[in-house]
Amino acid sequence: MRNEYFIALSAIMLPAGISAAETKRDTVSLKEVVVTAPLKTNPELIPLNVTQVTSAEIEESAESSLLPVLVNKVPGLFVTERGFAGYGVSGGSAGAVNIRGVGQGNKVLFMIDGQPQWAGVFGHSLADTYVANGVEKVEVVKGPSSLLYGSNAMGGSINIVTRTQKEDGLTGRARAMFGSYTTQKFALSSGYKKGKFSATLSGQLDRSNGYQKGSEFWLANEFAQLKYAISRNWNIAGMVELTQSHANNPGTIQDPLENMWTTISRGTGGIYIKNMYEKFDGGVQGYINWGRHNVDDGNAPGAAPRDYLFHSTDYNMGFTAYESFYLWDANTLSAGIDFQHWGGHIWNTNKEDESVRTSEAKHHVNEIAGYIMMQQGFFNDILNINGGVRLQHGSTYGNVWVPQAGLIIKPGYDSQIKASFSKGFRSPNIRELYLYQPANPDLKPEYMLNYEISYRQYFLSRRLMLGAAIFYIDGKNMIQTVRVDGRPHNVNTGKFHNKGFEIEAAYSILRNLQASGAWSYLHTDSDNLYSPKNKLNLELTYSPGQFSFTVEEMSIWGMKYGNPDGSSMNYSLLNLKAAYTLAGNVPVTLFVKGDNLTNKHYEIIYGCPMPGATVMGGVEVKF
C-alpha cells in the first residue's frame, strides 16, 4: 500500500527570496508526510498526529534556529527560552522541548536525517545545534515514536531532514542579517548535481551581545552531504555536521552570576545505503554523534571565582537496518533492528593546574532492539488498520515491550480520521544511573501510554481546512529524587496524566491572502513546568506583487514557569515580517522582522526576563 496521503496545516506564507508569482495559489496547499533518511516504514503506517514544517516556512521565518519556528508552527509544542540568543547547556540553560506537556528530561527525540541526537552523558538534546540553514523540512510526530525509534521518543519525535540538490548544476543562497543588541547572522548554502552524483554544503555564523550584560553568544555551524545513485535500485549517501558555540549566562534576577559560560563543540556523521524495488525497500544506516563541553559555573557578584572548570565528552553511536515488504494488495509489513552504544566521560580541572583532575567518571550503555509493524487496507483504502510491537533490551534495565495500534479512516477524498494507542519510553541516562549522590544503577525506564483521535476535513475545493485532535496520556515510572534513609536517591515513583485537544484551521481567502490558526489546550495533574495550559497561534499573510507581509500572534495562558509561589505566566506576542523581492535574473530579497512589537514584559523561565521589542533586517540572494 504505497499511495500518498496528506495531513495538517497548509504552508501559506511567502518565503523570502521567492517571488509572489511563484507562490500564488487559490487552494490550501497540503503537507505531504514523507519520513526520509531513514525510511523505516511507509509514512502511511504512522497513525499518530504528524505535522510537517516546510522549507518555505523555515526560510520565511528569517530565524537562524529551528526551535522558534517549531513553536509558531506546531500546535501543542513549546520550547523554553531565557533571552535573545542562544540556549546554552548546564545550569540555567534553556531549549527544553515539550509536546503536549511531555518533554522535560529528554522525552522528545531529535534526529537529523533519522540519526538520534542527544548528549551521551546527561541524555539531553542540544538546542543550539539545531540550525535552520540547509534544512529541507522538519517532521514532528506528536505522540510516542518509540515503536520505530526506541528510547527518548517517549513524548514524540522531531526529524530534521537536510536539503538535497535536486536539479543538475550549481545552485545556492546567501543571507546576511543585522539587528538589535549588535546581533549579526550570516548563512550560506549551496548544492551541486551532475548525473548520479550530488553534493550539498552549508555554513552559518551567529553572534550577539545579548540584551543583558553577561549574555553574549556566538555559534558556528558547518554541514556537508554527498550522495551517489549506484543504480536505479540502490543509492548511498554520507553526511557530517559540526557545531561550535559559546554562551554566557548572567544568572537570574534573584541570583545573578558573573563569569558563567559554556562552550560546546559537537559533531554528527553518518552513512547509509538504500534500496528500492517494486515489492520491497529499505536500507542500512550507521551513525555517530559526539561532543565536548567546557563549563565555568560562575560566581555571585563580589564572590571569589570558582577554582575549577567542568568538562565532559560524550558519544552516541549505532546502526539501524530496516525493510518494508509489500506482500499483497493494500498490505505493508515493516521490520528492523537497531543497536545503540552511548556514554561519556566527565571530570573537573583546577584552573591553575589543568593536570589536576577531580570528580572523574566514565560510563556507557548498550541497547539493542527489533521491531515489526503491519498495515492492511480494506474497502479500497477507506479503512487502514495498523499494529506493531518493539522489543528493546538495555544493558542496565533489561527488556521493554513497546506496542502500538491504530487505524486511519478516509470517508472521502477531503476527510480523514485517525485513532491510535501507543506506548513510549525513556531509558535512564548516565547521570541518573551513576553520577552524583542521588544516582541509582537499578533504575528502570520511564514510560507512558498515549490515546488519541484526530479528524481533518477540507472544504471549498480544498481552500479551507479544519482539523481537531483529542488525546489522553498516562505517564508512569517517572524518575524522581526522594529521601531514602535521610539521603537523596533516584527512584521510579512519579506519574502524571495529561489530556487535552488541538484545533487547527487554514483558509486561502484570495490568491494572495491566506490565514491560519491553531489552539492547543492541555490539562495536567502534575506540576509540569513550561507546558502552557493554552497556546494560541494566529497568522495572516498578504503578498501583493513583489511584496510580502506576515503578521503573527502567539498567546500563552496558564504556564508554570518556576515561580516559588506557584503562579502561572500569561502573555501575548505580536510579530511582523515584510519582504520585497527585486526583479532580475538573480532573485534578491530585502526583508525586515519585528518581534514582540507591543514590548510585552514576560518570563518563560523564572528570573530570566525576555527582551522587549526587537528588530532584525537583512538581504538574501539566490543563485
Q: What is the pLDDT of residue 240?
A: 97
> Is residue 302 situated within a structural domain?
yes
Share of the chain above pLDDT 70, in %: 93
* Highest-scoring range by mean pLDDT, 30-34, 43-47, 183-187: 183-187
pLDDT at 39: 60
For 387-438, write each residue's pLDDT tens digit.
Answer: 999 999 999 999 999 999 999 999 988 999 999 999 999 999 999 999 998 9
Beta-strand ranges (E) seen in 195-233 are 197-208, 217-229
The residue-averaged pLDDT of 269-278 equals 94
Q: Do residues 20 and 4 lie in contact, with contact meaning Cβ atoms separated by under 8 Å?
A: no
Q: Report the distance separating Cα 604 and Cα 530, nearest Å.
A: 7
Is residue 544 within 8 A of residue 512, CB to CB? The reply is yes
Residue 98 has pLDDT above 80, yes or no: yes
CA separation for the pair 351, 308 (Å, rounded): 5
Quick: pLDDT tens for 55-96. 989 988 989 999 999 999 999 999 999 888 888 887 778 889
Nearest to 403 by CA among 608, 578, 147: 147
Q: Is the pLDDT of residue 33 over 90?
A: no
Per-residue burial over 541-580, b = 16 or more CB atoms within 10 Å of its CB, e = otherwise: bbbeeeebebbbbbbbeebbbbeeeeeebebebbbebbbe
Give CA–CA dist 117/126, Å, rounded: 8
Measured from the Cβ of residue 1, the count of other Cβ atoms closer than 10 Å reads 17
Per-residue pLDDT of 369-383, as tens digits, reads 999 999 999 999 899
User: How many domains does the chain contain in total?
Assistant: 1
- Report the pLDDT value the prediction gives residue 5, as an integer from 0 to 100: 29
- Over residues 571-599, mean pLDDT: 94
Nearest to 80 by CA among 562, 537, 472, 557: 562
- pLDDT for res 123: 87
DSSP 3-state of 309: strand
CA quadruple 610, 58, 200, 160: dihedral positive or negative? positive
Q: Is the distance from CB of 326 to CB of 2 less than 8 angstroms?
A: yes
Q: Please state the pTM of the whole predicted model.
A: 0.91
Where helices occur in 1-145 by DSSP H, the ranges are 20-23, 55-61, 66-73
Confidence of residue 586 (pLDDT cuts 50, 70, 90): confident
Q: Does the pLDDT value for residue 603 go beyond 50?
A: yes
Domain presence at residue 1: no
What is each CA distance from 478 to 154, 445, 463, in whole angstroms? 12, 8, 44
Let me know: does 247 contact 220? Beta carbons within 8 Å. no
The amino acid occupying position 330 is A
pLDDT at 84: 84
Specify if 359 maps to a domain: yes
Cell triple for residue 446? 520511564
User: Average pLDDT of the chain?
Assistant: 90
Band the pLDDT of 48: cuts 50, 70, 90.
Answer: confident
User: CB–CB of 208/85 below 8 Å?
Assistant: yes
DSSP state of 305: P
CA 368, chain centre distance (Å): 24
What does the pLDDT average to over 171-183?
96
List, in sequence order, the alpha helices (H) in 82-124: none
Q: Are 430 and 123 in contact (CB under 8 A)?
A: yes
Closest CA to 528 of 127, 105, 49, 157: 105
Residue 43's pLDDT is what?
58
- For residue 571, the domain's CATH number is 2.40.170.20
The number of helix segments (H) and strand segments (E) in the chain equals 5, 31
Q: What is the largest CA-CA distance in the chain?
A: 75
Q: Does 176 fall in a domain?
A: yes
Predicted pLDDT at 14: 32
The reported pLDDT for the residue numbered 166 is 87
Show the cell assigned to 550.
Answer: 506576515
Query: Is residue 410 situated within a structural domain?
Result: yes
| Interval 466-501: pLDDT, tens | 999 999 999 999 999 999 888 999 999 999 999 999
In sequence order, the 6+-apart residues with CB closer than 8 A to the CB of 616 are: 62, 177, 178, 179, 180, 183, 185, 592, 593, 595
Question: Which cell goes with 46?
Answer: 504512522
Domain region containing 373: 6-622
Q: Which residue, chain included where needed, has cell 535512564?
A: 428
Tell me, what DSSP letter sits at residue 164?
-
Q: Is it the case that residue 163 has pLDDT exceeding 70?
A: yes
pLDDT of the residue at 186: 97
DSSP state of 14: P
- Is pLDDT above 60 for 589? yes
Q: What share of the chain is helix, strand, coil (3-state, %, to 5)?
A: 5, 60, 35
Q: In one letter, which amino acid is 579? A: A
**pLDDT value at position 22?**
36
pLDDT of 275: 94
